[in-house]
Structure 1
Amino acid sequence: MKKVAVINDLSGFGKCSLSVALPIISVLGSQCVPLATAVFTSQTDFSYYYYTDLTDMIDKYIEYWKLNNASFDGIYSGYVTNHGQALLVSKFIDQFKTDKTKILIDPVMGDNGTTFKMFTNELLNTHKELTKKANIITPNLTESCLLADIPITSIAKCNNDKDSLLELAIKAANILKARANNDQEVIITGINTAIDNDHVVYNLVSDANGDHFTSTPMINKRFSGTGDIFASIITGLIMKDVDTLSAVKKAQDFIVSCINDTPDTTNPSDGVYFEKHLKDL
């Protein structure tokens, strides 16, 4: 059985990060080996939460996993709380990556043209170096612009125009591919557009063969954790040697089904009802 090291936080309430990666990667047939970067009572979209930062423990994960001769077929890194953690993720990859290891990095920094509260320029610079080590990266449009040194104000200037937004995504993706140290695939997620008042969400898969878009209708609901579900599905499927474009289509369709099955009365911070759909993966 293939093993995937998943570097992310663990939240009590709120279906995100490790709490979705563990079941999704497992149901897709790989062993999910968690490395917790922090433990939260509830994920940060809730008004009140308490957390314990585990940055100091990451070196111990590396040290003791090396002593136990750990090896990984895949490494998936998601949310990191600070610049120091990002440096340790880079160290982890250097310690455990082999020629056969597939690396997926989700560089969580912002969304919808704004940065998250943990964002710093120091964190951005570290993510720029970290993402170069990945086979696949899954930024949203905001994060791809940050990584590519494109002003995030460019997103608002597109004024929801489909062609302008898709061109911006392609520009960012090709900058990132050129900077990477391998044949990197860039997946830019959640590109929201408006066509004749019908909202559409695009995902861009940019690889050595060109730029490919997938799309789904925009659902007028917002739930936390869908990005983590998306990246977890991509990780699980590439461990099964599914091509990236097919994996993206599977992931987006799964998320749409989960959102449609989640009652309108659900607190968006709780996340989507994904559990009973796991069998569909």
Structure 2
Amino acid sequence: MSNAPKTVLCIHDLPGFGRAGLSVIVPVLSALGAQAVAVPTAVLSTHTGGLGTPAKLANPGYGPAALEHYRRLGLRFDCIYSGYLADASQAKLVEQAMDLWPDALTVVDPVMGDHGRMYRGLAPEMVPAMYTLCSRASLILPNTTEAALLLGDPMPGVTGEAELHTAQAQAQRLTRICPRVLITGVAAGRGIACVGADRATGESLVRTPMVPKSFHGTGDIFGAVLVGRLLQGNVLPAAAQAAAVFVADCLKATPDEADERLGVWLESVLPQLMQNPE
């Protein structure tokens, strides 16, 4: 059916409480008219950012079995979108999906660290595994820390316009690995920038207002809106702008006194995605 919803295979973690991972990606994609098919890399009682040690449900055989089931069903995916991977072996799971659905748009958020350090619980072998995965993607969405890890650079310690210049250089160098790159969450004066580079056409820059607090899960919301808008036919800079605006609107809807560990209050803002289909 030509008018059937686009279908996205979402390979991310699923936290029960705390708006992050699949708990925000699935509703955002649904609001944008895409069918999200979730393959959890880990099922957690909460996300891992300051809410104590979560209960964890992990079955290493689930992911490959799920993909094989989808293959037997004859499913077709328009996009494969991956994020947090619990260990390096799960990069092979995403590559397996790429092999099964070679025509899909492949978007990899190489979740490995932030603020100049790797996330706790990730082993060093995650870096080469993620490098290999990124080399097979259509588009990657690292932050400056993850870009440095992929490039083998020292961890970033600069902020402001210096961070912007660093990100622009990182994005250009990363196009040697992946044809399209969008570095997210870059400090740029009084704003936040997304710095893009395209192996074929050059770079793009999207600036958004600086926000005083950093909430968990906003990167997942940004990525989901970006993917949804790309599937609607938007070019990358326009999709990135739409994603940044939606995250900013979620932040505006979240009270100043809200606990940033619990994520932004996106529930009241989701209807905007349905009201503005393109």
- Does structure 1 residue 143 correspond to structure 2 residue 150? no
- Give the whole-Å Cα distance in 1 for the aligned partners of 2:23 and 2:254: 17
Q: Which runs of 5+ in 2 are unaligned?
A: 274-278
Residue 203 of structure 1 aligns with which residue?
Answer: 194
Residue 272 of structure 1 aligns with which residue?
Answer: 264
Q: Which runs of 5+ in 1 are unaligned?
A: none
Matches within 5 A, 1:231-242: 231-242=223-234
Q: 1:38 aligns with which of 42, 48, 52?
A: 42
Number of aligned pairs? 267
Q: 1:72 aligns with which of 56, 74, 77?
A: 77
- Give the whole-Å Cα distance in 2 for the aligned partners of 1:173 and 1:245: 14
SS of structure 1 residue aligned to 2:270: helix
Q: CA deviation at 1:256?
A: 1.0
TM-score (normalizing by structure 1): 0.91
| Runs of 4+, deviation exceeding 2 Å | 118-121
Residue 134 of structure 1 aligns with which residue?
Answer: 137
Residue 251 of structure 1 aligns with which residue?
Answer: 243
Matches within 5 A, 1:5-16: 5-16=9-20
Q: CA deviation at 1:7?
A: 0.5
Identity of aligned residues (%): 33
Q: CA deviation at 1:265?
A: 2.5
On the 8 A contact 2:77/2:101 being kept in 1, the answer is yes
Residue 168 of structure 1 aligns with which residue?
Answer: 166
- Give the whole-Å Cα distance in 1 for the aligned partners of 2:257 and 2:187: 24
The one-letter amino acid paired with 2:180 is E
Q: Bigger shift: 135-144 or 210-219?
A: 210-219
Q: CA deviation at 1:211?
A: 1.6
Q: CA deviation at 1:161?
A: 4.0
TM-score (normalizing by structure 2): 0.92
CA offsets 1:182-205 (integer angstroms, 9 cap, x no match)? xx2101000124x4xxx3211112
- Give the whole-Å Cα distance in 2 for the aligned partners of 1:39 and 1:168: 35
Higher normalized helix content (fraction of residues) = 1
On the 8 A contact 2:80/2:97 being kept in 1, the answer is no
- Give the whole-Å Cα distance in 1 for the aligned partners of 2:212 and 2:52: 22
SS of structure 1 residue aligned to 2:26: helix
- Does structure 1 residue 18 correspond to structure 2 residue 22? yes
The one-letter amino acid paired with 2:193 is Y
- Give the whole-Å Cα distance in 2 for the aligned partners of 1:161 and 1:18: 31
On the 8 A contact 2:12/2:85 being kept in 1, the answer is yes
On the 8 A contact 1:38/1:55 being kept in 2, the answer is no
Please provide the CA RMSD for this pair. Answer: 1.3
